[in-house]
């Protein structure tokens, strides 16, 4: 896949798409707009839904802004909506559902950050134009008043959208000072929309990168996940690295841009990593779903142990011994700092630690025992490990690439055969704990665990055994141990 910026749109294309989208959602926006107008309040479709309508991205999540205060909004949607919720009341937002439509209505507002605060101060505003002016980018600062469907674009968002460029409504320094997370959102929108970022915005991000430190790890994490799962992640990641933001939110990524040795005897690890990410995305169809964060983030982190393990040996040879193990530890530490769930941390770290295991396979020298251990160690991440291992081949030597692909095909075929014969995914000893105690005549304790571990290793080495064979092996082990 390519992360090149997409070609410009024409105003005619944009107008046509907006007309079609307003027609599609007309029953909702006209009914809701009429209710607010009858109450003497203003209501406008705003932000992402307007932008997405212009680029042909249909959605059922509709965002509105209004002159009404939250209590008034709640009263006006009561009886119209199928369900209403107010978890965002403190930020001026009332949410509701109407048939298939998810609706959020937020009072005109402005929010700013104290220089040392992680949370915004929220003040309600009085005008639509004022509300639009405090938004992050001009392409998100357009609105459609309802029910009249008047288009409002005080900051030239439609031109920026046609040119596929991200600009701020006012000075980017002011915007990023008010909410530093907008710098991360610039990278995220570039990755999601395939847009370029205006030079003055890049300059402000570079100058103010350190201000991202006042933002909570959870909010940074959420933006990073959206960026990595976007259609064009290379655009966003490159922007994070070039502006210095990555130094604060994901320092392992720019660290991959190692100083090249004079003989150029190792690849550019940073560029290699981005290529592996793209190639893993091309293989995501194997998982049967949409964008897969665990698979993508493992690709992004798989070589983060290289800077710490690089050594120059005699003859100009460059080595990265144990960078898989070191990288897994680095990955755990970074993901914990970003407040990821233990499940995601374990999954990504396991993939990073195992990504080199296949290279011991040679041309098929592994025994069935080694194949079983490969499957056992991968556990429920086996399919993602297949993807990462295949994506990690970025050689330009077509003969070598074909050989690696055929060899991995062979490994997968052996895994499939053994899985069919032995149920590898649920591999366990041939005797359970209760039977172990019966055979050995012992009660619960450490010895049962040791016997279980012995039988599991036996199962790995020699495959499944009959009950009688397993019991005989267990008695022999116990006698030798005694």
Residue pair 409/356 in contact by the 8 Å Cβ criterion:
no
Give residues with Cβ within 8 angstroms of 476, minimum separation 6. none
Residue pLDDT, tens place only, 292-337: 999 999 999 999 999 999 888 877 788 898 999 999 999 999 999 9
Residue pLDDT, tens place only, 145-183: 999 999 999 999 999 999 999 999 999 999 999 899 999
Give the phi and the psi of residue 81 in degrees, each rounded to 5: -80, 155
CA-nearest of 2, 3, 1, 14 to 163 is 14
pLDDT, residue 260, reads: 55
Give the phi and the psi of residue 98 in degrees, each rounded to 5: -130, 105
Query: How would residue 465 be classed by pLDDT, with cut points 50, 70 and 90?
Result: confident
User: What are 5's two structure tokens?
Assistant: 């910026």
pTM: 0.82
Q: Evaluate if residue 19 carries a pLDDT over 50.
A: yes
CATH of domain 258-426: 1.10.3210
Q: How far apart are CA 254 and CA 328, in angstroms?
A: 17
Give the phi and the psi of residue 8 in degrees, each rounded to 5: -65, 155
Q: How far apart are CA 269 and CA 256, in angstroms?
A: 5
Residue pLDDT, tens place only, 207-247: 999 999 999 999 999 999 999 999 999 999 999 999 999 99
Q: CA 318 → CA 190, 265, 357, 397, distances in Å?
A: 35, 7, 20, 20
pLDDT, residue 432, reads: 86
Q: How far apart are CA 280 and CA 294, in angstroms?
A: 11
Q: Which helix (H) or strand (E) holds 45?
A: strand 43-46
Q: State the alpha helices, DSSP H only, in 394-432.
A: 398-422
| Architecture of the domain defined by 171-250 | Orthogonal Bundle (1.10)
Q: How far apart are CA 66 and CA 323, in angstroms?
A: 54
User: What are 415's two structure tokens?
Assistant: 């895994």
Residue pLDDT, tens place only, 466-475: 888 888 888 8
What are the residues facing 144 on neighbouring strands? 45, 151
Residue pair 26/33 in contact by the 8 Å Cβ criterion:
no
Give residues with Cβ within 8 angstroms of 191, minimum separation 6. 226, 227, 228, 230, 231, 232, 233, 234, 235, 236, 237
User: What are 42's two structure tokens?
Assistant: 């203003």
Quickly list DSSP for 178-206.
H-THHHHHHHHHHHHH--EE-HHHHHHHH
Exposure class string for 21-58: b at 16+ Cβ within 10 A, else e: bbeebeebbeebbebbeeeebbbbbbbebbbbbbbeee
User: What are 448's two structure tokens?
Assistant: 């049962």
CA-nearest of 99, 16, 105, 109 to 56 is 16
Q: Evaluate if residue 358 carries a pLDDT over 70.
A: yes
Residue pLDDT, tens place only, 92-111: 999 999 999 999 999 998 65
Name the residue ranges covered by the structural domains of the chain. Answer: 1-168, 171-250, 258-426, 433-481
The mean pLDDT of 78-104, rounded to a whole number, is 94
Place of tokens 């983030």: 297
Residue pair 94/59 in contact by the 8 Å Cβ criterion:
no
CA-nearest of 112, 122, 107 to 66 is 107
CATH superfamily of 1-168: Beta Polymerase, domain 2 (3.30.460.10)
pLDDT, residue 118, reads: 53
Q: Evaluate if residue 198 carries a pLDDT over 90.
A: yes
CA-nearest of 330, 366, 15 to 161 is 15
Query: How would residue 263 be classed by pLDDT, with cut points 50, 70 and 90?
Result: very low
pLDDT, residue 117, reads: 58
Q: CA 161 → CA 8, 200, 444, distances in Å?
A: 8, 17, 69
Give the phi and the psi of residue 97 in degrees, each rounded to 5: -125, 135
Q: How far apart are CA 199 and CA 470, in angstroms?
A: 70
Cα dihedral sign for 243, 248, 250, 254? positive
Query: How would residue 36 be classed by pLDDT, with cut points 50, 70 and 90?
Result: very high
Residue pair 480/454 in contact by the 8 Å Cβ criterion:
no
pLDDT, residue 262, reads: 45
Q: Evaluate if residue 422 carries a pLDDT over 70.
A: no
């Amino acid at each position: 896949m390519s992360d090149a910026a997409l070609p410009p749109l024409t105003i005619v294309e944009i107008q046509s798409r907006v007309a079609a989208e307003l027609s599609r959602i007309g029953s909702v926006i006209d009914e809701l707009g009429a209710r607010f107008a009858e109450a003497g309040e203003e209501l406008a479709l705003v932000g992402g839904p307007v932008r997405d309508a212009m680029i042909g991205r249909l959605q059922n999540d509709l965002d509105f802004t209004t002159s009404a205060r939250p209590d008034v909004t709640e009263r006006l949607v009561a009886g119209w909506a199928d369900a209403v919720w107010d978890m965002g009341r403190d930020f001026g937002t009332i949410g509701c559902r109407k048939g298939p439509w998810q609706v959020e209505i937020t009072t005109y507002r402005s929010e700013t950050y104290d220089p040392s605060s992680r949370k915004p101060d929220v003040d309600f505003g009085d005008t639509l134009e004022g509300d639009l002016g405090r938004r992050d980018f001009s392409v998100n600062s357009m609105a459609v008043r309802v029910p009249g469907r008047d288009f409002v674009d005080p900051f030239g968002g439609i031109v920026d959208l046609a040119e596929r460029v991200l600009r701020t409504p006012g000075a980017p320094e002011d915007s990023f000072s008010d909410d530093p997370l907008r710098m991360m959102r610039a990278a995220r929108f570039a990755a999601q929309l395939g847009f370029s970022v205006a030079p003055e915005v890049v300059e402000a991000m570079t100058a103010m990168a350190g201000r991202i430190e006042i933002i909570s790890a959870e909010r940074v994490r959420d933006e990073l996940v959206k960026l990595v799962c976007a259609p064009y992640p290379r655009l966003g990641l490159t922007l994070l690295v070039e502006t210095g933001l990555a130094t604060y939110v994901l320092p392992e990524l720019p660290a991959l841009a190692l100083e090249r040795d004079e003989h150029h005897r190792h690849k550019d690890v940073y560029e290699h990593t981005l290529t592996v990410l793209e190639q893993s995305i091309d293989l995501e169809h194997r998982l049967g779903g949409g964008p897969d964060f665990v698979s993508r983030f493992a690709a992004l982190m798989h070589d983060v142990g290289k800077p710490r393990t690089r050594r120059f040996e005699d003859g100009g040879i460059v080595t990265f011994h144990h960078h898989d193990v070191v990288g897994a530890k680095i990955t755990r530490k970074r993901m914990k700092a970003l407040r990821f769930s233990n499940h995601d941390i374990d999954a990504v770290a396991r993939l990073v630690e195992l990504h080199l295991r296949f290279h011991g396979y040679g041309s098929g020298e592994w025994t069935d025992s080694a194949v079983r251990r490969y499957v056992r160690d991968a556990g429920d991440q086996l399919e993602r490990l297949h993807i990462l291992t295949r994506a990690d081949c970025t050689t330009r030597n077509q003969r070598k690439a074909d050989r690696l692909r055929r060899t991995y095909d062979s490994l997968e075929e052996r895994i499939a055969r053994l899985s069919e014969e032995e149920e590898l995914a649920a591999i366990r000893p041939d005797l359970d704990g209760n039977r172990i105690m019966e055979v050995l005549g012992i009660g619960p304790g450490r010895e049962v665990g040791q016997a279980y571990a012995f039988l599991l290793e036996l199962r790995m080495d020699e495959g499944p055994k009959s009950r009688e064979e397993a019991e005989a092996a267990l008695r022999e082990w116990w006698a030798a141990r005694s």
